[in-house]
Amino acid sequence: MKFFIVFFFVSMLAFNLGVSLPIPEKPTFLSFKESFSTLFGDQNLRPLDANGNSVRISLTKSTGSGFKSRSLYNSNFFSASIKLPPNNTAGVVVAFYTTNADVFKSNHDEIDFEFLWNVPGQEWIVQTNLFGNGNMQRGREERYKLGFDPTQDFHSYSILWNKNWIVFYVDDVPIRQLQRVDAMGGDYPSKPMSLYSTIWDGSDWATAGGKHKINFGFAPFNADFSKFVIPGNGCSTDQIQQCQDNANVQKFVADFNGLKGDELSKMEDFRKKHMTYSYCHDRRRYPSALPECIQVKG
């Protein structure tokens, strides 16, 4: 009862001051074993703790690996803490993303975090992207340097998605916001999606356009995951309590109507310091900017 009163007061204060809460308050973390299943590379996926709350996926010369959520979800907040592989990881791709490609074969939706590793001495690159109805030719990629070493410790990466907004977060700091505009049509992701993560060989394109290939002498390449958050629609029977516990997260997503105040300033500051590419500024690729780009800042 005490938590409810505090949360209600903070929510009303944020509303009245015209600011937004940074992320949902106190989410419940899900068990990997109950919430996910192996996608491929069974031999390269293993739990990191006895309770099954953390998992490691690996890339070796023989195969990568990956997992997916057991359920599809509508507008939602997806999050995980991730520690990325160290050393020479040029050509390695770790992806944390939502998609429905297994259900909608020819017109799937997707929202991506892609971690594109680099040669020693160079910063790691994070790419975000989204598309709807299989329109991959109209990619909406942005790339950033993080300003920290993501291989030394766990950092949280989150995606907020509702019918009008998509926001990407790193360590609770918003780094990108996109508002749906009518002119986007089916390009905006709108169909239920599952949450995925994979590690794989992206030598053909991931580092300097494919200039640097994977050196498997540094394998296995390991990516560790913990603190999963997937509340809301699509809860399976063994997740009901967790979904009830995360009711505040569902409300946050449903009520979200764009970053404001301090959160908007944080995003603009991050983008000014760390963004290295945005499709909205790429006139060679898009001589006429895509319709939502007029709202992009940074």
| HEC secondary structure over the chain | CHHHHHHHHHHHHHHHHCCCCCCCCCCCCECHHHHEEEEECHHHEEECCCCCCCEEEEECCCCCEEEEECCCECCEEEEEEEECCCCCCCCEEEEEEEECCCCCCCCCCEEEEEEECCCCCCCCEEEEEEECCCCCCCCCCEEEECCCCCCCCCEEEEEEECCCEEEEEECCEEEEEEECCHHHHHHCCCCCEEEEEEEEECCCCCCHHHCCCCCHHHCCEEEEEEEEECCCCCCCHHHHHHHHHCHHHHHHHHHCCCCCHHHHHHHHHHHHHHEEEEHHHCCCCCCCCCHHHHHCCC
State the Cα–Cα distance between residues 105 and 126, nearest whole angstrom: 27
Active-site annotation holder among 25, 34, 110, 142: 110
Judge whether 30 and 230 are in contact, CB under 8 Å.
yes
Whether 263 sits among the annotated catalytic residues: the reply is no
Residue with tokens 């020693």: 120
Active-site annotation holder among 25, 114, 142, 268: 114
Residue 164 phi, psi (nearest 5): -125, -15
**Which residues participate in catalysis according to the annotation?**
110, 114
